[in-house]
Amino acid sequence: MRLIERCRIIDFKSYGDDRGKLVVIEGGQSIPFDIKRVFYMYGADASSVRGKHANKDSDFVLINVAGNSKIKVTDGNEELVVNLDKPMQGIYIPKMVWKEMFDFSKNSVLLVLASTHYNDAEYIYDFFEYQKMMKQKDK
């Protein structure tokens, strides 16, 4: 399966009227996993690069709830860059996909929903090690 199919864009339902908007995200329904962890990034700027890792066990959905940022994902073969600039749109990133978040607008708030609780042992921070693991997986 191609990277663009694995790391798909998710459009969430947005409800609203003249009082404002509301976006509903439900684990196991609007996203393909039950949510175990939620965190967000703010205060980053256009020169900041976050992420720079892959996860062995965790799936993620990233949503820029304010401002915008870019997300680069790769599986070692293909690369995809997505501009997140709508609070009702996110990107699903399955386990074992390398991710980097960058080019944050001044007011950016990047919300991250994760399928697992935090476990530092599942993080792969060395891109060359990641590439090696992916090549072994393909054999």
At residue 10, the pLDDT reads: 97
Q: What CATH number is attached to the domain comprising 48?
A: 2.60.120.10
Query: By the 8 A CB rule, do 14 and 86 touch?
Result: no
Domain for residue 126, yes or no? no
Of 6, 52, 53, 72, catalytic: 53
At residue 137, the pLDDT reads: 79
Residue-number span of the structural domain to which 106 is assigned:
3-119
Domain for residue 72, yes or no? yes
At residue 139, the pLDDT reads: 64
Domain for residue 138, yes or no? no
Domain for residue 139, yes or no? no
Domain for residue 85, yes or no? yes
Specify the pTM: 0.94
Counting other chains too, the contacts that 74-82 makes at CB distance below 8 Å and 24 or more residues apart are 74/3, 74/98, 75/3, 75/6, 75/134, 76/130, 76/131, 76/134, 76/135, 77/3, 77/134, 78/2, 78/3, 78/4, 79/3, 80/3, 80/4, 80/7, 82/7, 82/9
Domain for residue 46, yes or no? yes
Angle, alpha carbons 113-41-15 (nearest 5°):
55
* Number of domain units in the chain: 1
**117 counts as catalytic:** no
In this structure, the number of other CB atoms found within 10 A of the CB of residue 6 comes to: 16
Domain for residue 20, yes or no? yes
Domain for residue 129, yes or no? no
At residue 98, the pLDDT reads: 98
At residue 7, the pLDDT reads: 96
Q: Which residues neighbour 103 within 8 Å (Cβ) at sequence distance 6 or greater?
A: 46, 68, 69, 70
The residue ranges of the chain whose pLDDT is under 50 are none
Buried (b) or exposed (e) across 65-94, using 16+ Cβ within 10 A?
bebbbbbbbbbbeeebebebebbbbbbbbb
